[in-house]
């Protein structure tokens, strides 16, 4: 029997509720597919901060290192500045475990309607590969003269050839593996960001040369936003820098019905460290505590976690069960036009698992 140690960080707001459903579904799939999960919960996040003055303990990274994977809800609290919560938990984990690929599917599933008119199921079917450790999120910069009129913040974007080439290579390999349109789109802004994004473009050209079977396109991020709305069916694999990938995947979420369906994996493809799976959405303070958050993004992220752990059969079963609940369109949360609660959707996925 395969055995996996999973670190669970529910975090804040709806993160707590959606992870509950993810664990519910994982536990049932584990029984069906002869997998032994050991879930270890870490009560880190904003409540931990209010008590201890930090989002997670000083030795958190060492604590997480031996785990096979990390399953995260979301962090973010209205009483704390976002740079404190996110630089105190999510971003250091991505960097410390060199989770340099962030994989985010945007798929229009059966039973879900897109706010874009005339889109049929699977007209939108893309995978956004987001660079996840450097770029605009490199932890380089500082403040000068805080509280003076000349208050200054310096934020440096870091684009390395190595960092760009490895994530772009992952995107090309994925386009081959998906075997759909065999197409990779690079999202850039080298017309204005004339250093870092030029390194990005050069890396894209270098890597593309090794994949003559894959068609390519390089597109500026502003135009990419427009094309996500005008012609999303044109995309297959999209590779983007950290910030551009962040923005485009919220857009990818809504054009495929709801951010509550957008799964995400922060992956170390070399498997040196635990990878981390989490929904793309945040802690959603506007609906937190109401029991109406859509848990499917978290559940689909759990399916991605199983794939990553080498349990693709169980991972596919979770995905199929979630999609069956959508296709049936009876048990849906309000973001998808339904009246179901978070836990009712989790229960429906369990039923669909059989
Ligand atoms: P958000 O994703 O939390 O919410 C945006 C909108 O989408 C809200 O209207 C929310 O109700 C809705 N929504 C999100 N997830 C949903 C779900 N599962 N079901 C139904 N509706 C859903 O983004 P935000 O409001 O910009 O950020 C809130 C907080 O979360 C901030 O503190 C932010 O920094 C943080 N955040 C954390 C993560 C993370 O930890 N991975 C990701 C994004 C944002
Ligand atoms: C995401 C989130 C994070 C990001 C924030 C909360 C730092 O928006 O995972 O998409 O920008 O990476
Ligand atoms: Mn985001």
Question: For position 319, which CATH number holds?
Answer: 3.40.718.10
Could you tell me if 308 and 278 are in contact, meaning their C-beta atoms sit under 8 angstroms apart?
A: no
- Mutational pocket test of ligand 1: of 18, 283, 291, the residue with most ligand atoms within 8 Å of the beta carbon: 283
Question: Is 83 in the same domain as 155?
Answer: no
Residue that finishes a domain, picked among 222, 255, 288: 255
Q: For position 331, what pLDDT does the model report?
A: 98
- What pLDDT score was predicted for residue 26? 98
Q: What's the pLDDT tens digit per position in 97-131?
A: 999 999 999 999 999 999 999 999 999 999 999 99
CA of 284 to the centre of ligand 1 (A): 4
Number of domains in the chain: 2
pTM of the model: 0.98
308 found inside a domain: yes
246 CB within 6 A, ligand 2: yes
Q: How many CB atoms lie within 10 A of CB 116?
A: 18
Q: Is residue 119 part of a domain?
A: no
Question: Per the domain annotation, does 113 fall within a domain?
Answer: no
Q: Distance from the CA of 150 to the center of ligand 3, in angstroms?
A: 30
182 and 284 share a domain?
no
Long-range CB contact pairs, 139-144, < 8 A, 24+: 139/87, 139/91, 139/95
Residue 264 CB less than 6 A away from ligand 1? no
Cα of 281 vs centre of ligand 1, distance in Å, is 4
Q: How far is CA 35 from CA 27, 30, 271, in A?
A: 9, 5, 19
Q: Relative to the alpha carbon of 102, which ligand is closest?
A: 2
Ligand 2, atom 8, residue with closest C-alpha: 246
List the domain range (segments joined by +) for residue 213: 125-255
Are 142 and 222 in a shared domain? yes
Ligand 1 within 6 A of CB of 134: no
- Report the nearest atom of ligand 2 relative to the CA of 249: 10
Which pLDDT belongs to residue 199?
98
Domain finish residue from 255, 283, 308: 255
Residues 163 and 73 grouped into a single domain:
no
Residues 5 and 95 in one domain: yes
Are 228 and 280 in a shared domain?
Answer: no
Residues 42, 96, single domain; the answer is yes
For ligand 1, atom 36, the nearest C-alpha belongs to: 282
| CB of 301 shorter than 6 A to ligand 2 | no
Same domain, 169 and 206: yes
Pair (249, 277) in one structural domain: no
Residue 280, ligand 2, Cβ within 6 A: yes
Q: In what order do the strands lie in the sheet with 265-267?
A: 35-41, 2-11, 69-74, 275-277, 265-267, 101-107, 125-131, 237-240, 183-188, 215-220
- Residues in contact with 27: Cβ distance below 8 Å, sequence separation at least 6, in sequence order: 37
pLDDT by position in tens, the chain (length 354): 899 999 999 999 999 999 999 999 999 999 999 999 999 999 999 999 999 999 999 999 999 999 999 999 999 999 999 999 999 999 999 999 999 999 999 999 999 999 999 999 999 999 999 999 999 999 999 999 999 999 999 999 999 999 999 999 999 999 999 999 999 999 999 999 999 999 999 999 999 999 999 999 999 999 999 999 999 999 999 999 999 999 999 999 999 999 999 999 999 999 999 999 999 999 999 999 999 999 999 999 999 999 999 999 999 999 999 999 999 999 999 999 999 999 999 999 999 999
Does residue 304 belong to any structural domain of this protein?
yes
DSSP 247-297: HHHHHHHHHTT-GGG---EEE-TT-SS-EEE--SS---TTTTTTT----HH
| Within a domain: 3 | yes
Q: What pLDDT is stored for residue 352 in this prediction?
A: 98
On whether the CB atoms of residues 114 and 132 are closer than 8 A, the answer is no
Are 240 and 277 in the same domain? no
pLDDT per residue as tens digits for the range 193-212: 999 999 999 999 999 999 99
What's the 239 CA to ligand 1 centre distance in angstroms?
Answer: 23
Q: Are residues 73 and 162 in the same domain?
A: no
Return the pLDDT at 110: 98
Query: How confident is the model at residue 234, as a pLDDT?
Result: 98
Same domain (yes/no): 250, 284: no
User: Has residue 112 been placed in a domain?
Assistant: no
260 falls within a domain: no
Residue 107 lies in a domain: no
Strand 237-240 relative to strand 125-131, pairing: parallel
Query: Please, are residues 253 and 116 in contact by the beta-carbon 8 Å criterion?
Result: no
Whether ligand 2 lies within 6 angstroms of the CB of 86 is answered as: yes
Q: Would you say the CB of residue 316 lies under 6 angstroms from ligand 1?
A: no
Ligand 2 neighbourhood includes 132 CB (under 6 angstroms): no
Residue finishing a domain among 198, 222, 255:
255
């Amino acid at each position: 029997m395969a055995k996996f140690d999973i670190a669970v960080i529910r975090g804040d707001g709806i993160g707590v509720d959606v992870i509950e459903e993810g664990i519910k579904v994982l536990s049932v799939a584990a029984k069906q597919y002869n997998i032994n999960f050991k879930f270890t919960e870490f009560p880190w996040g904003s409540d931990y901060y209010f008590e201890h003055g930090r989002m997670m303990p000083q030795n958190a990274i060492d604590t997480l290192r031996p785990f096979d994977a990390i399953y995260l809800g979301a962090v973010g609290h209205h009483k704390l500045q976002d740079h404190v919560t996110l630089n105190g938990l999510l971003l250091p984990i991505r960097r410390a475990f060199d989770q340099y690929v962030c994989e985010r599917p945007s798929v229009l599933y059966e039973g879900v309607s897109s706010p874009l008119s005339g889109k049929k199921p699977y007209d939108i079917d893309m995978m956004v590969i987001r660079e996840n450790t450097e770029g605009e999120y490199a932890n380089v910069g500082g403040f000068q003269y805080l509280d003076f009129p000349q208050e200054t913040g310096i934020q440096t974007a870091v684009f390395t050839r190595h960092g760009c080439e490895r994530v772009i290579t992952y995107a090309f390999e994925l386009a081959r593996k998906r075997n759909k349109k065999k197409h990779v789109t690079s999202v850039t802004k080298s017309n204005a960001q004339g250093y870092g994004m030029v390194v990005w473009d050069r890396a894209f050209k270098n890597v593309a040369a090794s994949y003559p079977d894959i068609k390519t396109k390089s597109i500026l991020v502003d135009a990419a936003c427009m094309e996500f709305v005008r012609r999303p069916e044109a995309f297959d694999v999209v590779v983007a820098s950290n910030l551009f990938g962040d923005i485009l995947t919220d857009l990818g979420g809504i054009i495929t019905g709801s951010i509550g369906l957008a799964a995400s994996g922060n992956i170390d493809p070399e498997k040196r460290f635990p990878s981390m799976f989490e929904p793309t959405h945040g802690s959603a303070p506007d609906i937190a505590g109401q029991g109406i958050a859509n848990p499917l993004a978290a559940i689909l992220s759990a399916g991605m976690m199983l794939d990553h752990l080498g349990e693709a059969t169980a991972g596919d079963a979770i995905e199929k069960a979630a999609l069956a609940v959508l296709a049936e369109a009876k048990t849906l949360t309000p973001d998808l036009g339904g009246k179901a609660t978070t836990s009712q959707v989790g229960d429906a996925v369990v039923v669909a698992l059989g």
